Structure 1
């Protein structure tokens, strides 16, 4: 095997040593960077070169105490388990798995590993070395941890040697599928009870007489031949628990071993080169990517596998093997494209690793890490497998902290008051997210946390505390009685500044206004106090106020203050209760309040019996006559009967109507009627007001709906000329619209004050 490896090595180096230069424009942004344990650091990058990639990186410092890299295996050699599940199954007190990646290649249908796997010299899988420069492991390369605890990436020479009557034969491998022209040794450690070979070969069954419980480097198994199956036999050969089966295919092997007979003694030896003997574990994979800080790709980079831009998983070493790096590159996704072999090797060199080897990638690429606050490993990258779920794999590499759980050292907590100044009597509380020991192991929280006050001026209740006295104190957060963190608490007996809102207010009787107050400390920051500590009160007979600042006004015309008191300090807001309005529907801020108030006080216009004015009601002709007669002070005691059929002498407004008709201000309608309940149009209003106040003049305003031949044109012009009307914004007067009580009052007020 050594000669074969050397020949292939020369070939592949010639094919693959030339790679593209590093891209000087590549940029890497660190998104996450924090320790998983004392000797294990996790980072996540966004790397932009030819493509944008998301990269996860765990760096393990094997020089740090209690720090290891371990090989994770499922329960059976041909079993499969997700990277995260395998890590959590192997994690326990004193052996905390804090990070993991998927490892070597495996048979997707049967589940068994494809390449060599061994731990503490015990061989789990003999594996194979592939043929062809386009194959991932076409020369025997591996990663492992040596006997002295260093990370190793290098070639290996695993030999399975068969001996018969003093002659040694180099076998192709052990405990894996037999391929064409190969010789394979099957032991009881094979995942199947039978060899599962086809009929194109022959098999020799050997019994050693003793149970074989494991296979190890340096082990020799010797026994007697108990059965030989002829070429072409389809018999399923069982592997004896006390022996092994030699399975051979090809004429060359037949000529070499056809002389073996029943009862002959056969031996098989498993050995590995000195570098890997007694290693903590060895895991074969490929291709080699980086050697001596330079790209060193041990496969054809022009092959389909070498050119494919896909997710990648890598293990690398630096610092002469004292640092091990787990690296994953997400791929085939929008956030991350992946890398081909050249890009991958160049990127690894830019990271500064000394050696690196490729692991199973594609949909298998997975990294798990332990997040703070929980000792379980969770997914760190985004796999490209269907639904971004983890693929079940046959082996993992695990970053492990063997330190026992210690006392609390690190804490993540939130103070509900953000360490602000407290008023005497105010309360605060903390919420703890996690507590970690010095190795970042998560510690239990429920029943393990407590608070203490340094000066005993803070009354502690569970994870809450209340200020009892002005001054400075300190709260300690304890885990199982050991202080993990502390912070200062400042307490005052009054705010440095207080503000009340609104700062002043004029309100109507019966109206409710919500007053609020804010308080600041001497640094201008919000003071912490309980809402119940604010005492609200009123000065003057202005109304009442609730405990939460809702003021209800009473007693129109009264003035006073709303007062907020906090601690020993108070602040006031002047309040005026507005005088009673003219009418229920005419508040003090009504747009025509002044005009209606004047007409009301001068007994020119009155409201309704229910206390309303009804400003938007249409004005009747009878009411217009009444209002005009009052405004002009017409004599209604001795009037001439106008003779209208609908205005008899006993009509309620007979005298006022007769007076305005006699004064020539209003006239009747056709048929000798006055139509007292009919509405007054804006054009009729213009005539009435113009005649009542002897208005003259013309205006430069020409309303587009009152032409010169309109009967009301001169009256409208007289109103406009005397600034009694300006019309509407669209340059109309709307002469045929009924005028409202409010607008009639407005025009009358302007006419009186022209």
Structure 2
């Protein structure tokens, strides 16, 4: 039978693949989610020629409550997103639980391009591509046939006129006429007029009754009542009780002898396989046939070679399982596939037949998420921001299952762990599903809780630990237990530890927290208000939020009591740091503070002491002069060439020299020179008239060393013990803090 589609071309089967199926391809399942009793969503990461993210809805037509339908907009040529279309078609007893974008369409008009029908009613007559480089150059459709089975196969659609001229096939139905075409227009055309140009002839045929639908198996009979001749620009309306034959070129010549008053009949037919089908949707190319790659377009064309997002429908060999499949593309973690790669992927999944759908930016998979009757996007469309593209038709997985008793329930809890007596945990019900995954309403009137052993009680959705023991909480929906979980209550915490600073500065505040485990080392749930805080020792006070304020220096304990168990932490309260770089925790904080208090040492203008900085001879002279309280008002010029009377520390250096504590070399004092430990020993021994020989003999300061008697004097008076291994390090530069340490020891013998 001659096809009515305008560009019928020879069937092209691609034999030379762009890429062959990769033996090293692998696939990881990321998600398995039943969305109804017969439909399950799967999501995969597939590693083949590229990494791709794949979404897959498996639809079992054996399930008595599961079917597949075509989803169309309410207005012909209307466009809507996949989710919007699906949700608009969903209702009680007819829930859309999954959807995929489907039909190719003219993006300038919104009109679908290829054949679509429902229960024989023809929604769109369709065309074919001019050549094999187009996606749909061969009449192939997906649908559900009259026996309720899924099908992907060719179709034979024809419109034939019967008149005194004999049987003349037409080339199209309810679409714009092209050159050398003959088109049938019925009242179901999307406009009321043919809107054909003047380069053809149009025959108006009136029937006895109004034509209320256009469908497969239809026969229309009437008489020619008007002929619009070639060249006429008259707008020709399609009568409600009739039809119009519009012909051009060679096709028009076939009707030249037809006259007003002649009888004319039209037969609209589809081959037997598709007659009375629940629906059919033409698309292409076919990708898989009999479990093998079978591509009905030129695989060397740019469209076939493009690596892009893809959509397809596949079916099982027994035609009882339908698969919606999408591959994301043009994304950083999902490049997409060309048609050969896509076909090979579908073959690898074991599908018997598969047909390509509109892809690219239209590629969208949707599913009913648990707890809602609305479908949401499952994949990531490639449009900017992941936005869905509006499309002209979709395919839908439908659940007709009725609402039934609750079967599954998802909940979450605050404070998961062993509960301390008087602590609480709150349960949130996220959703309740029946056996068909239909969401059930959740409210305080249908959710309740029950304790099996009575160790916990309930206030609405809050669990209150009452007494120690092991219990199980049941979650009931309309009085029937749907879910449960174990719960343990204790009155005796196990391990407890206080967290917070062990060193606190006087007049400062710090907060302590308590971490507790049960006897088995598991997380213990309790309220902060259950912790009783106290202070052992007269060092400050603490409130019940664990905030401690230090009021006196000294050592005490922070005590935390939880239930019948307590723990403590030793805390030392110190004076405020005098310098920013000598905090109260500094090992020589006490010594530095003492020398500052006595005004023997000072810091720098930026608030630092710079304890590790080496000490200069000038600064050593200043400090010793302060400690010894030398009179700097009556001094004799020491005659140092590098310490003039204008020098900042001239008086202190002169006083030290006059007292015989420090001297220069070759007429210079070298005020910026850095003191060594040996020089420090001499200065302190001279300044404080220290003498003696210690039992400690330093290996690096033998008796022959000039500093021997000074180092020994310090050791004999317990001012130094040197370093481990019996060494003193006499030539090492002395830091400001170590010089202060030696002074402190001398002054506090």
* TM-score, structure 1 normalization: 0.79
Aligned match for 2:340, one of 339, 342, 354: 342
| 3-state SS in 1 of match to 2:56 | strand
Quote how far apart the aligned CAs of 1:392 are.
Answer: 2.2
Inter-partner Cα distance in structure 2 for 1:551 and 1:464: 32
Give deviations 1:329-358, integer Å, cap 9, x for gaps: 233343333322222221211111100111
Identify the residue that residue 523 of structure 1 maps to in structure 2.
520
Aligned match for 2:350, one of 349, 352, 361: 352
Asked if residue 309 in structure 1 is aligned to residue 276 in structure 2, the reply is no
| 3-state SS in 1 of match to 2:389 | coil
Aligned match for 2:284, one of 283, 286, 294: 286
- The question of whether the paired residues in 2 share the 8 Å contact of 1:55 and 1:327 is answered with yes
- The question of whether the paired residues in 2 share the 8 Å contact of 1:690 and 1:718 is answered with no
Aligned match for 2:410, one of 379, 400, 412: 412
| 3-state SS in 1 of match to 2:496 | strand
Identify the residue that residue 689 of structure 2 maps to in structure 1.
none
Identify the residue that residue 75 of structure 2 maps to in structure 1.
76
- The question of whether the paired residues in 2 share the 8 Å contact of 1:368 and 1:379 is answered with yes
**Structure 1 residues 91 and 667 mapped into 2: Cα distance closer, same or farther (>3 Å)?**
same
Asked if residue 234 in structure 1 is aligned to residue 223 in structure 2, the reply is no
**Structure 1 residues 270 and 489 mapped into 2: Cα distance closer, same or farther (>3 Å)?**
same
Inter-partner Cα distance in structure 2 for 1:38 and 1:729: 88
Equivalent runs, 1:657-696 vs 2, <5 Å: 683-684=653-654, 686-687=656-657, 690-691=660-661
Asked if residue 571 in structure 1 is aligned to residue 567 in structure 2, the reply is yes
Query: Tell me, which stretches of 5 or more residues in structure 1 are unaligned?
Result: 600-605, 630-655
**Structure 1 residues 459 and 152 mapped into 2: Cα distance closer, same or farther (>3 Å)?**
same
Identify the residue that residue 717 of structure 2 maps to in structure 1.
none
- The question of whether the paired residues in 2 share the 8 Å contact of 1:161 and 1:268 is answered with yes
Identify the residue that residue 93 of structure 1 maps to in structure 2.
92
Identify the residue that residue 696 of structure 2 maps to in structure 1.
none
- The question of whether the paired residues in 2 share the 8 Å contact of 1:314 and 1:359 is answered with yes
Identify the residue that residue 703 of structure 2 maps to in structure 1.
none
Inter-partner Cα distance in structure 2 for 1:151 and 1:613: 99
Inter-partner Cα distance in structure 1 for 2:506 and 2:109: 87
- The question of whether the paired residues in 1 share the 8 Å contact of 2:45 and 2:53 is answered with yes
Q: Count matched residues.
A: 684
Inter-partner Cα distance in structure 1 for 2:624 and 2:361: 91
Asked if residue 322 in structure 1 is aligned to residue 335 in structure 2, the reply is no
**Structure 1 residues 580 and 103 mapped into 2: Cα distance closer, same or farther (>3 Å)?**
closer
Give deviations 1:450-494, integer Å, cap 9, x for gaps: 333333432212211111111122222233443332111111111
Aligned match for 1:396, one of 394, 406, 411: 394
- The question of whether the paired residues in 2 share the 8 Å contact of 1:586 and 1:593 is answered with no
Quote how far apart the aligned CAs of 1:395 are.
Answer: 1.1
Quote how far apart the aligned CAs of 1:547 are.
Answer: 1.8
Inter-partner Cα distance in structure 1 for 2:307 and 2:499: 64
Quote how far apart the aligned CAs of 1:43 are.
Answer: 1.9
**Structure 1 residues 322 and 564 mapped into 2: Cα distance closer, same or farther (>3 Å)?**
same
| 3-state SS in 2 of match to 1:347 | helix
Give deviations 1:359-387, integer Å, cap 9, x for gaps: 22233222222222322122223333455
| 3-state SS in 2 of match to 1:12 | coil
Identify the residue that residue 183 of structure 2 maps to in structure 1.
184
Equivalent runs, 1:442-521 vs 2, <5 Å: 442-447=439-444, 448-501=446-499, 514-521=511-518
Quote how far apart the aligned CAs of 1:750 are.
Answer: 4.1
**Structure 1 residues 203 and 42 mapped into 2: Cα distance closer, same or farther (>3 Å)?**
same
Inter-partner Cα distance in structure 2 for 1:248 and 1:580: 102
| 3-state SS in 1 of match to 2:344 | helix
| 3-state SS in 1 of match to 2:88 | helix
Inter-partner Cα distance in structure 2 for 1:71 and 1:580: 79
Asked if residue 118 in structure 1 is aligned to residue 117 in structure 2, the reply is yes
- The question of whether the paired residues in 1 share the 8 Å contact of 2:600 and 2:627 is answered with no
| 3-state SS in 2 of match to 1:99 | strand
Query: Tell me, which stretches of 5 or more residues in structure 2 are unaligned?
Result: 605-617, 640-644, 687-705, 715-719, 723-727
Inter-partner Cα distance in structure 1 for 2:172 and 2:519: 81
Inter-partner Cα distance in structure 2 for 1:509 and 1:130: 87
Identify the residue that residue 266 of structure 1 maps to in structure 2.
264
Inter-partner Cα distance in structure 2 for 1:307 and 1:581: 74
**Structure 1 residues 713 and 555 mapped into 2: Cα distance closer, same or farther (>3 Å)?**
closer
Quote how far apart the aligned CAs of 1:142 are.
Answer: 0.7
**Structure 1 residues 684 and 240 mapped into 2: Cα distance closer, same or farther (>3 Å)?**
same
Asked if residue 210 in structure 1 is aligned to residue 209 in structure 2, the reply is yes
Give deviations 1:376-420, integer Å, cap 9, x for gaps: 1222233334554333222111111111233333333221112x1
Give deviations 1:694-748, integer Å, cap 9, x for gaps: x9999xxx9894599xxx99976986932579999997799xxxx99x9689548
Inter-partner Cα distance in structure 2 for 1:532 and 1:717: 58
More displaced 10-residue stretch of structure 1: 139-148 or 382-391: 382-391
**Structure 1 residues 93 and 681 mapped into 2: Cα distance closer, same or farther (>3 Å)?**
farther
Greater Rg by CA? 1
**Structure 1 residues 717 and 355 mapped into 2: Cα distance closer, same or farther (>3 Å)?**
same
- The question of whether the paired residues in 2 share the 8 Å contact of 1:703 and 1:733 is answered with no
Quote how far apart the aligned CAs of 1:690 are.
Answer: 4.9
Asked if residue 432 in structure 1 is aligned to residue 425 in structure 2, the reply is no
- The question of whether the paired residues in 2 share the 8 Å contact of 1:209 and 1:242 is answered with yes
More displaced 10-residue stretch of structure 1: 400-409 or 34-43: 400-409
| 3-state SS in 1 of match to 2:403 | coil
| 3-state SS in 2 of match to 1:283 | strand
| 3-state SS in 1 of match to 2:346 | helix
Equivalent runs, 1:57-206 vs 2, <5 Å: 57-165=56-164, 167-206=166-205
Asked if residue 591 in structure 1 is aligned to residue 564 in structure 2, the reply is no
Inter-partner Cα distance in structure 1 for 2:356 and 2:120: 23
- The question of whether the paired residues in 1 share the 8 Å contact of 2:200 and 2:248 is answered with yes
* TM-score, structure 2 normalization: 0.80
| 3-state SS in 2 of match to 1:414 | strand
Asked if residue 534 in structure 1 is aligned to residue 531 in structure 2, the reply is yes
